[in-house]
Amino acid sequence: MQKFLNRMEWKINRFAVRDLMKYVCIAMLGVFVLDYLPMLRSASQLLYFNRDLIMRGQVWRLVTFIALPPTGSFIWILFSLYFYYFIGSSLEGRWGSARFMLYYVIGVLCNIIAGFITGYATNEYLNLSLLLCFAALYPDHQFMVMFFLPIKAKWIGIADAVLLVIMFLQSGWAGRIGMAFSLLPFFLFLGKDVYLQGKMAFKRLQYRINTRR
For residue range 94-148, list pLDDT tens digits in order: 999 999 999 999 999 999 999 999 998 889 889 888 999 998 898 888 887 666 7
The model's confidence at residue 17, banded by pLDDT at 50, 70 and 90, is confident
pLDDT for 1 beyond 70: no
Q: Which domain holds residue 198?
A: 2-211
Model pLDDT, residue 64: 93
User: Rounded to an integer, what distance in angstroms lies between the CA atom of residue 69 and that of residue 76?
Assistant: 11
Tens-place pLDDT, residues 185-199? 898 888 776 666 666
Domain count, the chain: 1
Q: Comparing 2 with 54, which gets the higher pLDDT?
A: 54
The reported pLDDT for the residue numbered 196 is: 63
Looking up residue 162, the CATH number of its domain turns out to be: 1.20.1540.10
DSSP E strands, 55-147 = 120-121, 142-145
- In sign, the C-alpha dihedral spanning 179, 185, 188, 194 is negative
Residue 115's Cβ-count burial label (10 Å; 0-12, 13-18, 19+) is: buried
pLDDT in tens, 56-100: 999 999 999 999 998 878 888 888 899 899 999 999 999 999 999
H/E run at residue 49:
strand 49-50
Q: How do strand 142-145 and strand 149-152 relate by DSSP bridges? A: antiparallel
